[in-house]
Amino acid sequence: MTSERKRPVRPKPAASLILIDDAERVLMGRRPPRSRFAPDAWVFPGGRVDRTDPGTGDTRFRAAAVRETAEETGLVVEHGLLRPLGRAITPSESPIRFDARFYLARAALSLSAAPLVSNGEFTDIAWLPIDEALRLPLMDVTEVMLTEAAARLWSGGGGCLVLTYRRGAVRLRRTEAP
């Protein structure tokens, strides 16, 4: 009897936007309990890069982050406001995998006062104080990126954080670009 080793699923390109307003609240949504990926977890607006996202490379990922944010929350953010924050590649053992870019943008209080309109991808959506958001049920990627985003607000640090997995353990490193 031979053991057959499955090939890892190829990660799909994805992008998320971490929006933090002038009151230092972050925009997050809770995924439905029956979601195939990250059920019941609180996440940032985002999703897969698709054919409608124009451009190549980083421009295409930014377009996806802006599009997904508009679809999932009703908020429209300009591409130029997004700063690269990090990248995460889900574990090779996962049946659903993403190679996701995370972008950070500041939101004026006028934007965070706008009504939030969910397209059904979130069961809850809200602007939450960062310390409160960090106490919610979060995936490790979300927690790491939110912690990094909060640190950037206070320190103005640069570079990109890259999160990968090896044998189930999180690995972090810094690079100049996502």
| pLDDT tens readout for residues 101-160 | 999 999 988 888 999 998 989 999 999 999 999 999 899 999 999 999 999 887 766 789
Q: What CATH number has the domain bearing residue 40?
A: 3.90.79.10
Separation of alpha carbons 93 and 159, rounded Å: 28
Residue 1: which pLDDT band, with cuts at 50, 70 and 90?
very low
Asked if residue 101 is part of any domain, the answer here is: yes
Residue 14 has pLDDT above 90, yes or no: yes
Q: What's the token pair of residue 121? A: 């991808």
Residue 3 has pLDDT above 60, yes or no: no
Structural domain count of the chain: 1
Asked if residue 2 is part of any domain, the answer here is: no
163: enclosing H helix or E strand: strand 160-166
Q: What's the token pair of residue 103? A: 């972008």
Contact call for residues 146 and 129 (beta carbons, < 8 A): no
* pTM of the complete model: 0.91
Asked if residue 161 is part of any domain, the answer here is: yes
Asked if residue 6 is part of any domain, the answer here is: no
Higher pLDDT, 96 or 143: 143
* Segment 40-86, tens digit of pLDDT: 899 999 999 999 999 999 999 999 999 999 999 999 999 889 999 99
Cα–Cα separations (whole angstroms), residue 74 to 27, 50, 147: 12, 19, 25
Instruction: List the domain range (segments joined by +) for residue 138.
Output: 12-175
pLDDT given at position 5:
60
What letters, b where the CB count within 10 A reaches 16 and e where it falls short, cover 60-84? bbbbbbbbbbbebbebebeeeebeb
Query: DSSP readout, 101-119?
Result: EEEEEEE-HHHHTSPP---
At a CB cut-off of 8 Å and minimum separation 6, what does 87 contact?
99, 100, 101, 102, 160, 161, 162, 163, 178
Asked if residue 5 is part of any domain, the answer here is: no
